[in-house]
Amino acid sequence: MVQYDPLSAAFFLVCILLSAFFSSAEVALISISRARVRTLVNDARPGASALAELRADPDRILITTLIGNTLVCVAAAALATEVTLVEFGPSGVAFAIIGTALALLVVGQIGPMLIAARFLDRVALRVAGPILLLSRIVSPIIRVINGLSRTLGSETNGEPSVTEDEIREWIDVGKEEGTIEQGEQRMLYNVLAFDETIAREVMTPRMDVTMVEDTTTLDSTLTIFHETGFSRLPVFHERVDNLVGVLNIKDVYSAIVTHTTGVRITDLCYDPYFVPETKKIDDLLRELQVRKVPMAMVMDEYGGFVGVVTIEDILEELVGDILDEFDEEEPQVEPAGEGIYLIDASAWIEDLNERIGLSLPMGDGYETIGGLLIDRLGHIPHPGETVTLPDTGITLVVMQMRGKRIIRIKMLLPLSVSADENR
């Protein structure tokens, strides 16, 4: 008959429980984010200070829990082997190995890890104090291991603990779980892309900019203000690249109402603010705020005027289109049937690829769908001209022109692409 030593059984159970403790501590302390730890510290939760100290050095957590887990696992295995050898002889070693492995795997590893992952905050706060105390006890071993790690060239490479891609993944997870709504998701994405956007991407192109010449009368200028609904207009001298100022409708009204004579619009203008087209819009927004001007003139590398960018243009990159009573909302992309789209020629190819799920070719000489069409035709088109992209099978048709400028394009997708899109 097999005789069990209660003391040995109790010691074996303690080893299994300690293994469970170290396993759950490792998962909880490593998995909890620094942002969550900071929240717990601000809430003055018990154990939060110890948790913050440990989380500041993840290597310390790993080494301490591995040392503790290794010691108790070895102790449990040795004790089980000793008992089975006494009771069953040499054949008892197999029982010891199988029994100890199952006990450690189920009770000491898998179960505690699953519980720690499910109750992350609670477990992390409870185990932080004992693990911090143990890490101080084994601190000489931790220093030796860290020294060896640096000697072998495994120092940290300075990468941030949280990357932009990880933030995007968190946003997507929040959207899937219902914590973040679709509009909030889009705005957060816009915030992440904000510092990478340049003035050329948000400006109103020169062809769409309403301007006045410095010789225009005040009455004619006021008429232009009324027809366009704008509150400010760039002023040029002789040619549009020669900008001399920006005119505010309030100054024009004031001059007309007070019957001021001999006033030219150049007398009412304030100095224009020029920026390169490669200017990052986050920097530009700060500069416009500091200078207290709502509009900047965008120049290309050759000093030519290419467009204007306003504070409203910049803010729209964050919150979407801001429409007033003078704006007419015209979608850049309008479905006109299965695999058929009516597209504004100024729509960016990168946006179309992302929005419709296409693979329109990008090029150094163009950025918009209109530029792509002209690049493939090799000349200024006429309404009705078509071009088929050989790589994708997509057909582009010129629908509307204004002078030499393309306004509207019809895009016809091949059957395979439109079928995939519908799925």
Residues of the chain with pLDDT under 50: 1-2, 419, 423
Per-residue model confidence as pLDDT tens digits over 34-87: 878 888 888 888 888 998 988 888 888 988 999 999 998 888 888 877 777 666
Domain extent, residue 310, equals 199-319
Predicted local confidence at residue 1, as pLDDT: 42
Co-location of 50 and 180 in the same domain = no
Per-residue model confidence as pLDDT tens digits over 234-253: 999 988 889 999 999 999 98
Look at residues 319, 352, 379 and tell me which one is the last residue of a structural domain: 319
Kindly state whether residue 324 falls inside one of the protein's structural domains: no
Co-location of 23 and 109 in the same domain = yes
- Predicted TM-score (pTM) above 0.85: no
Cβ 418 vs Cβ 338: under 8 Å: yes
- Domain with 363 in it: what CATH number? 3.30.465.10
Co-location of 275 and 241 in the same domain = yes
Look at residues 85, 116, 151 and tell me which one is the last residue of a structural domain: 151
Per-residue model confidence as pLDDT tens digits over 360-406: 888 878 888 989 999 888 888 888 899 998 888 889 999 988 878 88
Co-location of 186 and 203 in the same domain = no
Work out the widest C-alpha separation in the chain, in whole angstroms. 121
Nearest to 21 by CA among 79, 71, 68, 75: 68
Strand 405-412 and strand 395-402: pairing? antiparallel
Co-location of 208 and 96 in the same domain = no
Predicted local confidence at residue 280, as pLDDT: 93
- Number of domains making up the chain: 4
- Cβ neighbors of 10 (< 8 A, separation 6 or more) are none
Predicted local confidence at residue 2, as pLDDT: 47
Q: Which two tokens stand for residue 3?
A: 């005789």
Kindly state whether residue 159 falls inside one of the protein's structural domains: no
